[in-house]
């Protein structure tokens, strides 16, 4: 006859005749729940998932235990008359009602109709030197390309969304499937203006097959800028929020960051000659645009935004509301 073991973390059935001192693996401690972490007082493992907590293997060996733990003692319920007698025995005193302070008013978000303003660009000396060197090298390359119009085997098509490479004269006769529109980044969603297949993942966006047919473009002079992802992060202090975009040799004349106090921050960076980075950020808080600026160096771009109020932001971006999510899904 098998019995159920009531040791914590075991819950296995066992045969009393074969029950030995190492038959059961269990937790002798008690459950510990602290700051969303769950675990046992007898071992160090912690998890945030309740299912994982239940599956944490025991840390102690011993005998299986068939004795069901006693039920928690319920408080004795007294009759109405007994409760009245106890209430009369309580000392009488004057009650003081303490009014809680009023909650802080949320910051009023300015009107989204405010005009968009380009943030001030500050170009470092290191970036100026790097761009001067690149300009000289690019001029030399252009002269070499002018001397030879030959397309090399393995050259990638410059049309957006096309992944074909040049394998010979027959490649030019093939139909090119590409995106004729421009990339759009709005409230976390990414899509092309020509087909509007929306996605929140940048790699999925880059892998989207084109929606237009045409001829391949093999040379740089006939191609436009190439949209690429860039690593970026953010941090904050009491009065400022800083976004860092890690793009080398950015071009100040072709790059800009525009915003008003609350509308999505539009980041447009051209770097390394023919690469573009786009990012639209709907900021969690309100910023002072006139006191915000962009610092451009040879290795990265830093957007320093002055907060309208010296409050810590819960995140960089304002969460998308259910209404906006439904609107985006209906547009797809």
What distance in Å separates the CA atoms of residue 18 and residue 14, rounded to the nearest whole number?
8
Residue 257: predicted pLDDT? 92
Asked if the model's pLDDT at residue 137 lies above 60, the reply is: yes
Strand order in the sheet with 37-40: 31-34, 37-40, 46-47
Asked if the model's pLDDT at residue 101 lies above 50, the reply is: no
Asked if the model's pLDDT at residue 288 lies above 50, the reply is: yes
Residues of the chain with CATH 2.60.40.790: 117-132+224-307
Q: 3-state class of 281 per DSSP?
A: strand
Asked if the model's pLDDT at residue 225 lies above 60, the reply is: yes
Q: 3-state class of 14 per DSSP?
A: strand
Residues of the chain with CATH 4.10.1130.20: 3-62, 159-215
Q: What digits encode the pLDDT tens for the residues 210-219?
A: 899 998 988 7
Residue 197: predicted pLDDT? 84
When pLDDT is averaged across residues 157-168 and rounded to a whole number, the result is 85
| Mean pLDDT computed over every residue of the chain | 79
Nearest partner of 107 among 230, 269, 225, 261, judged by Cα: 261
Class of domain 159-215: few secondary structures
What distance in Å separates the CA atoms of residue 294 and residue 304, rounded to the nearest whole number?
6
Asked if the model's pLDDT at residue 240 lies above 80, the reply is: yes
Nearest partner of 286 among 312, 254, 309, judged by Cα: 309
Q: Which CATH number fits domain 117-132+224-307: 2.60.40.790, 3.40.980.10, 1.10.10.60, 3.40.50.80?
A: 2.60.40.790
Residue 105: predicted pLDDT? 47
How do beta strands 287-296 and 120-123 pair? parallel
Tokens 């190492």 — which residue?
22
The pTM is what?
Answer: 0.46
Residue 159: predicted pLDDT? 83
Architecture of domain 3-62: Irregular (4.10)
Residues 6+ apart with CB under 8 A from 31: 8, 38, 39, 40, 41, 53
What distance in Å separates the CA atoms of residue 198 and residue 325, rounded to the nearest whole number?
12
H or E element: which one contains 328? Answer: helix 322-331
Q: 3-state class of 17 per DSSP?
A: helix
Nearest partner of 318 among 284, 267, 269, judged by Cα: 284
What distance in Å separates the CA atoms of residue 164 and residue 178, rounded to the nearest whole number?
10
CB 286 within 8 A of CB 261: yes
Residues 6+ apart with CB under 8 A from 195: 179, 181, 208, 211
φ, ψ for residue 62, nearest 5 deg: 180, -170
Q: Identify the residue with better confidence: 226 or 195.
A: 195
pLDDT band at 88 (very low <50, low <70, confident <90, very high): low
Asked if the model's pLDDT at residue 8 lies above 70, the reply is: yes
Q: Which residues on neighbouring strands pair with residue 13, listed in sequence order?
A: 4
Question: First and final CA of the chain: distance in angstroms?
Answer: 62
Tokens 């992802």 — which residue?
229
CB 19 within 8 A of CB 5: no
What distance in Å separates the CA atoms of residue 200 and residue 203, rounded to the nearest whole number?
9
What distance in Å separates the CA atoms of residue 82 and residue 271, rounded to the nearest whole number?
82
What distance in Å separates the CA atoms of residue 194 and residue 177, rounded to the nearest whole number?
13
The residue count of the chain comes to 332
Residue 239: predicted pLDDT? 92
């Amino acid at each position: 006859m098998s019995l159920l073991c009531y040791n914590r973390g075991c819950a296995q059935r066992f045969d009393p005749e074969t029950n030995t001192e190492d038959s059961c693996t269990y937790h002798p401690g008690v459950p510990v729940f602290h700051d969303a972490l769950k675990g046992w007082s007898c071992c160090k493992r912690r998890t945030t998932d309740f299912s994982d907590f239940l599956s944490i293997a025991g840390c102690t060996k011993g005998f299986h235990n068939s004795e069901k733990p006693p039920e928690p003692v319920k408080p004795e319920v007294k009759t109405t008359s007994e409760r009245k007698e106890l209430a009369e025995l309580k000392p009488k005193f004057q009650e003081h009602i303490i009014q809680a302070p009023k909650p802080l008013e949320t910051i009023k978000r300015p009107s989204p109709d405010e005009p968009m303003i380009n943030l001030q660009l500050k170009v470092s000396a290191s970036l100026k030197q790097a761009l001067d060197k690149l300009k000289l090298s690019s001029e030399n390359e252009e002269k070499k390309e002018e001397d030879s119009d030959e397309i090399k085997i393995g050259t990638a098509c410059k049309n957006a969304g096309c992944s074909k490479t040049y394998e010979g004269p027959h490649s030019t006769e093939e139909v090119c499937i590409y995106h004729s529109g421009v990339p759009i980044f709005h409230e976390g969603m990414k899509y092309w203006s020509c087909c509007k297949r929306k996605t929140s993942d940048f790699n999925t966006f880059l892998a989207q097959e084109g929606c237009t047919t045409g001829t391949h473009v093999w040379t740089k002079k006939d191609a436009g800028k190439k949209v690429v992802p860039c690593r970026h992060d953010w941090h904050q202090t009491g009065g400022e929020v800083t976004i860092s975009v890690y793009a080398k040799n950015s071009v100040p004349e072709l790059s800009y960051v525009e915003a008003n106090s609350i509308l999505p921050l539009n980041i447009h960076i051209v770097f390394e000659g023919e690469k573009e980075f786009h990012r639209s950020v709907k900021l969690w808080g309100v910023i002072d645009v006139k006191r915000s600026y962009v610092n451009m160096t040879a290795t990265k771009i830093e957007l320093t935004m002055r907060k309208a109020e010296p409050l810590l932001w819960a995140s960089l971006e304002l969460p998308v509301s259910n209404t906006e999510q439904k609107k985006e899904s209906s547009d797809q």
